[in-house]
Amino acid sequence: MTTLPMFPAESSTSNDNPLPLIVASRWNFPLAHVKTDAGMMYAVQDWMRGLTGEEDTRKIWSYFKKQAIWSHVSSSTRRLPYLTSNGRKQQRDYTNDKGLYIIAQYMRITQDRPMLDEVRRFLASAGAFVDEVRREPDKLLDAVKNPDKLLDAFIEYHRKRGKSDSWIQMRFETKIKRNHFTAALNEFVADAMTPKRFATATDDVYTGLWGRNAATLKEQLKVAKNGSLRDHQPILALHYQGIVEEVCAQKLQQREEVEWGEARDIIQTVATIIGRQAEETSQLLQQDLATGKPLLAASL
């Protein structure tokens, strides 16, 4: 069964809405969508028009259909009713969410399409699997029963961002070390840990290692305020931060209980000690390890 086409409402940023409608609302373009027996389908030309800013996208869509990548979209594309701006009903091409993601990844980024790059990065950071879990939390239970699915999603996401397998491995390993660190803080700090305290502990790690807090590092790497700093750092930065957090976890485990101030002293001491070695490595490589950028010449 197919319902009539709909367009995003003002509330389309709700977490109950699928990712394509959130994109359409965020970048303010109409995206007709139809609920079918195969799931939600979206008007292809609305999507392409929204990403490119071009009013007539028939040539782009026609060219796309001639490419090899079309085989990945054709099976999920069908002709469905579409209401034009003048109220006429026509048959247009619709595809599912994954078809839209493939189209967005394939389309070229030019100076005339700055929004396309923004949308592509937004889609990459959200990811189809993450979107499904966001809208249907029960899917997460299935993923827990099959951890390989979560791991595959993690690897796929970072590969799409252009990260090497060695970087992905380090990112995964340091996530584990980070979990050890936060678990130790929860277990051995006498008074309750709060989100603010976790943020302070993280800043203690960064400040001891790099002489800069998270906000400064994000600014230097042009990471959004609510973005993940570690997803944008080079492999050596992840490595040293992981060492600090793992050593801190072990030091905290040696104590039955510590006050918050004592825990901070441990973190700052460990980060400073390892930071000295990181600085020597930085000078050896002539690279700011925290950001991967070259060091300024001493004469500058």
Sort 28 into a burial class: Cβ within 10 Å, 0-12 / 13-18 / 19+.
Answer: exposed
DSSP 68: G
Name the band, by pLDDT with cuts 50, 70 and 90, for residue 2: very low
The number of residues making up the chain comes to 300
pTM score = 0.54
Note the pLDDT tens digit of each residue in 130-160: 555 455 545 544 554 556 666 777 777 788 7
pLDDT for the residue numbered 62: 87
Q: Which helix H or strand E contains 77, and what residues bound it?
A: strand 77-83
Q: Could you report the per-residue pLDDT of 208-232, keeping only the tens digit for each?
A: 999 999 999 999 999 888 788 999 9
pLDDT at 32: 93
Rounded CA separation 149/158 (Å): 14
231-269 per-position pLDDT tens digit: 999 999 999 999 999 999 999 988 878 999 999 999 999
Per the model's pLDDT, the better-predicted residue between 128 and 104 turns out to be 104
Specify whether the CB–CB gap between 123 and 101 falls below 8 A.
yes
Instruction: Please give the Cα distance from 49 to 44 (Å, whole number).
Output: 9
What is the residue whose two structure tokens read 């809405």? Answer: 17
User: For the chain, what are the domain ranges?
Assistant: 19-126, 163-292
CB 141 within 8 A of CB 81: no
- Residue 241 CB neighbours (<10 A): 27
pLDDT at 10: 38
Other CB atoms within 10 Å distance of the CB of residue 258: 20
